[in-house]
């Protein structure tokens, strides 16, 4: 079979499709069919197709599939036939499991593929997640889930209508240091939590000015493709941390954006977003996402102590990160401190763990995944309100 491969939307021809589905429609589908695509055998490894073979797929997803007990790499969707065939040789799946972006509907006929992982730029998540769901494949999508809450709602509705599982790559929901921190904070002995500081920033500006600037992904500078700036890129991690560590959802938010490199970052792409999440019980999360510098912080404070996740110790890749993804098949090291006491925990391949958890949920025929589309929608709704606050000079905005 000769594939007629096509590249996805370029900057010159990209026009974002708008998916408008109301929450009422989603709720009506809550009583829809149970997952119908569960594997016939619980011991079977589910076939995964990666959609988009950029840096994240190459450096993080693919190297960890071999560590999975429930998942195998069975195919790819790409705009480059040559790259797809190189992947088929490297990862030993048939060449006829290489699909073009215009051939996603053919996935419906390929029983070797049970699930897909959408690893495309943000603005393409909704379109291709919906197409894959319509082809009857379970969908894991990169964060942020999409670039608007309307798109998220359409993705949820499509997955429910197709009877497939939809998940968002919130890998830290299973990362041992974050899981243990959540357990400690939820224990009565920790006391009442009062505040937290959460930041995930990286020196994108510096990279764009450095000697390897041509290798830095440029779609993050296009508001139509990225959806926004630093908040849409890494800002979801502090939101996630504040919510799962506290076991709460914020009732209101404030946001304040800034830009020190206007020559680099165009309108619609903030360089730094500082934001505050306020909760009904008084808990306050101070958060930041920035392209100006590299700094990662994850500390939660209570009246009887503190819990902090840090990067490290050093390995052959350098320092780890509180939020960082494992890469090249190696863990991203983290440390956990309860007060001054360091708690030793396993360093895991986060992507492999995530995919195994997703596959097991599929095999069990579950209707919802822990890191669900509804969770992804919640976070995008929070982000939208942070932007609304920032545009209003930092006014307090309700999340309800």
Percent of the chain with pLDDT over 90: 84
Q: Label residue 39 by pLDDT band (50, 70, 90).
A: very low
Has residue 10 got a pLDDT over 60?
no
**Hunting for tokens 């505040």 — which residue is that?**
195
Q: Please tell me whether the peptide bond between 144 and the residue prior to it is cis, using omega within 30 degrees of 0.
A: yes
More confident residue, 14 or 226: 226
Percent of the chain with pLDDT over 70: 88
Token representation of residue 188: 């009565």
For 100-228, where are the E strands, in sequence order? 115-118, 138-141, 166-168, 193-201
Tens digit of each residue's pLDDT (9 = 90 or more) over 214-267: 778 899 999 999 999 999 999 999 999 999 999 999 999 999 999 999 999 999
Token representation of residue 100: 């073009």
Name which of 63-77, 289-303, 305-319 the model is least confident about. Answer: 305-319
Q: How far apart are CA 236 and CA 240, in angstroms?
A: 6
Q: Which residues fall within 8 angstroms of residue 89, CB to CB, at 6 or more apart?
A: none
Tens digit of each residue's pLDDT (9 = 90 or more) over 322-373: 999 999 999 999 999 999 999 999 999 999 999 999 999 999 999 999 999 9
Q: Label residue 315 by pLDDT band (50, 70, 90).
A: low
User: 329 and 317 in contact (C-beta within 8 Å)?
Assistant: no
Tens digit of each residue's pLDDT (9 = 90 or more) over 132-174: 999 999 999 999 999 999 999 999 999 999 999 999 999 999 9
Domains and CATH numbers, the chain: 23-171+354-369 (3.40.50.720), 175-347+383-398 (3.30.360.10)
Has residue 54 got a pLDDT over 80?
yes
pTM, rounded to two decimals? 0.89
């Amino acid at each position: 079979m000769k594939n007629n491969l096509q590249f996805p939307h370029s900057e010159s021809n990209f026009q974002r499709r708008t998916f408008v589905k109301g929450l009422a429609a989603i709720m009506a589908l809550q009583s829809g069919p149970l997952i119908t695509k569960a594997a016939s055998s619980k011991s079977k490894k589910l076939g995964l197709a990666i959609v988009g073979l950029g840096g994240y797929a190459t450096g993080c997803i693919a190297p960890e599939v071999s560590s999975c007990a429930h998942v195998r790499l069975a195919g790819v969707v790409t705009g480059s036939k040559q790259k797809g065939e190189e992947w088929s040789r490297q990862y030993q799946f048939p060449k006829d499991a290489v699909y073009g972006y215009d051939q996603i509907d053919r996935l419906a006929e390929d029983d070797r593929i049970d699930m897909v992982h959408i690893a495309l730029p943000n603005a393409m998540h909704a379109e291709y997640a919906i197409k894959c769901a319509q082809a009857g494949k379970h969908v894991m999508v990169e964060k942020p889930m999409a670039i608007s809450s309307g798109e998220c709602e359409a993705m949820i509705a499509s997955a429910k209508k197709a009877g497939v599982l939809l998940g968002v790559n919130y890998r830290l929901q299973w990362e041992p240091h974050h899981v243990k921190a959540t357990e400690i904070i939820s224990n009565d002995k920790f006391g009442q939590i009062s505040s937290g500081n959460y930041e995930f920033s990286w020196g994108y500006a510096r990279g764009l000015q450095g000697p390897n600037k041509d290798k830095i992904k440029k779609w993050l500078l296009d508001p139509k493709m990225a959806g926004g700036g630093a908040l849409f890129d890494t800002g979801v991690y502090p939101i996630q941390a504040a919510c799962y560590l506290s076991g709460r959802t914020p009732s209101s938010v404030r946001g304040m954006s800034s830009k020190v490199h206007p020559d680099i970052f165009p309108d619609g792409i903030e360089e730094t977003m500082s934001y505050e999440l306020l909760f009904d019980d008084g808990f306050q999360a101070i958060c930041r996402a920035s392209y100006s510098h590299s700094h990662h912080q994850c500390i939660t404070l209570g009246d009887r102590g503190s819990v902090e996740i840090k990067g490290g110790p050093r390995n052959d890749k350098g320092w780890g990160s509180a939020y960082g993804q494992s890469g090249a098949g190696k863990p991203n090291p983290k440390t956990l401190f309860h007060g001054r006491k360091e708690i030793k925990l396993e360093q895991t391949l986060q992507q492999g763990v995530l995919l195994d958890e997703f596959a097991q949920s599929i095999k069990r025929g579950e209707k919802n995944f822990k890191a669900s589309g509804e969770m992804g929608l919640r976070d995008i709704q929070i982000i939208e309100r942070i932007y609304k606050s920032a545009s209003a000079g930092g006014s307090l905005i309700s999340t309800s």
